[in-house]
Amino acid sequence: MYQTTIKKAVELVGIGLHKGSPVKLRLEPLESNSGIVFYRSDVDVSIPLKPENVVDTRMATVIGKDGYVISTIEHLLSAVYAYGIDNLRVVVSADEVPVMDGSSASYCMLLDEAGIAQQDVAKKIMRITKEIEVVEGEKYVKLSPSPNLTYNFTIKFPHPVIQKQEYVLAFTKENYKNEIARARTFGFLHEVQYLRSKGLALGGSLENAIVLDEKKILNPEGLRFTNEFVRHKILDAIGDMSLIGMNFVGNYEAMAGSHDLNHKLTLELLKNPENYEVVELVGEKTKELEKAYA
């Protein structure tokens, strides 16, 4: 199995969640062994996708370099990871990726339009070999060895619509598109009002997020899934874990996980080479690994 990029450049324009301004996004092919590289066309700065370039994880995953940042990258990265794309240039015209409808469905459609191109260098994946866990109070995220790739996420919110939700995704591209990609981000009305008072979330609306007051959902169309909230948390986690730099095989488990905990988990994983094995997908012995994420 070989590394992949996209067949042709594609682009779209959407609203940035925090500034509320239009942002142009363009995806371009990159040669083998390039990885995912973000580029801000407004300031001529490239930011490779690496854990050490993460500069903020409070409300989104934000990468930065030389004082310039690109925010809310996780939804796009979630789709890129699900499509198994190894090498890609992501060009944005501002300091955030457009939020689209709050899910990754638009990015899946964009990647379908671009098409996937196989390259001439063997694909590498990471096999988790030891259990790694990050715990903060009752919250935790962890990775453990498994012949497959699964995401097992649990959330608890003291809200009548959410309460406790758990979902397990047996990861494949098709399962991702059918079960995860359409799940939207969510927030609470009082939080939105506070953020706007601080000049943030100016682009947030019922068009790109599930918004809840103290008792109910405010979106007139309702939910896309009864457990859309926990499904979106898996969408986020897939995007956050893509900062490892390659697809991995193992079990991801979270209780009330967050962008911050996911980032700490990637750092903890990469800190010790005994935690993982990097495998080139060549020869018969790797067939089972190929199945784990194909």
Task: Confirm if 152 and 252 have CB atoms less than 8 A apart.
Answer: yes
Question: What angle, rounded to 10 degrees, do the helices at 228-241 and 259-271 form?
Answer: 40
With tokens 């190929």, the residue in question is 290
Within the chain, how many helices (H) and strands (E) appear?
Answer: 7, 19
- Point out the catalytic residue in the list 18, 75, 232, 259: 259
263 is catalytic: no
Helices (H), 162-283: 173-179, 189-197, 228-241, 259-271
Helix axes 74-82, 228-241, angle to 10 degrees: 80
Among residues 70, 78, 81, 76, the alpha carbon closest in space to that of 100 is found at: 76
Catalytic residues: 259
